[in-house]
């Protein structure tokens, strides 16, 4: 599987070429995300075909710091569901947020029930107050265990 950042134009072309209802529905939601640098569009491909899409929205402070990221859109090809593709895409998005110095990733309220909600707790997301979120470790605190 290959995960990459997609440009809006690339996504629009694929949306027109593919005749897959799940892909069209996710693309429609991705169109509502703000443009770069306020969001990233991520696509997971397998055998040259899109299997999952994720929209990551960034929230910047007035001083230019990234204060948090929100997973706003997430969709997986139903024929390839329950294979960990969505989870890998979420981890990839967390890595992008971490690289930009973000300390927290939120989950949009309409995604909290994604994959019956079980996926989020398995990935370390919690909701002590309102809404699911995950506090990211800083890169310096992560250690390699080989």
Q: 39-46 and 104-107 as β-strands: parallel, antiparallel, unpaired?
A: unpaired
Q: How many degrees, rounded to 5, is the angle at CA 91 between CA 27 and CA 35?
A: 40
> 89-137 pLDDT, tens per residue?
999 999 999 998 898 999 998 887 776 667 788 889 887 667 889 999 8
Per-residue tokens: 57:
């929205």
> 38-56 pLDDT, tens per residue?
889 999 998 888 899 999 9
- Select from 102, 51, 46, 42 the least CA-distant residue to 72: 42
Alpha-carbon gap, residue 94 to 35, rounded angstroms: 19
**CATH number belonging to domain 2-141:** 3.40.630.30
Q: Where are the domains of the chain?
A: 2-141
pTM equals 0.84
């Amino acid at each position: 599987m290959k995960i990459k950042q997609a440009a809006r134009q690339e996504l629009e072309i694929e949306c027109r070429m593919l005749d897959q209802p799940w892909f069209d529905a996710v693309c429609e939601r991705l169109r509502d995300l703000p443009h770069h640098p306020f969001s990233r569009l991520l696509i997971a491909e397998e055998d040259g075909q899109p299997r999952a899409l994720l929209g990551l929205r960034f929230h910047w402070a007035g001083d230019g710091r990234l204060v948090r990221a929100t997973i706003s859109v997430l969709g997986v090809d139903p024929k390839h569901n329950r294979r960990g593709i969505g989870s890998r895409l979420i981890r990839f998005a967390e890595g992008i947020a971490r690289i930009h110095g973000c300390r927290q990733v939120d989950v949009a309220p309409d995604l909290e029930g994604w994959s019956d909600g079980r996926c989020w707790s398995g990935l370390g997301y919690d909701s002590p107050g309102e809404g699911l979120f995950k506090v990211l470790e800083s890169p310096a605190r992560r250690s390699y265990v080989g």
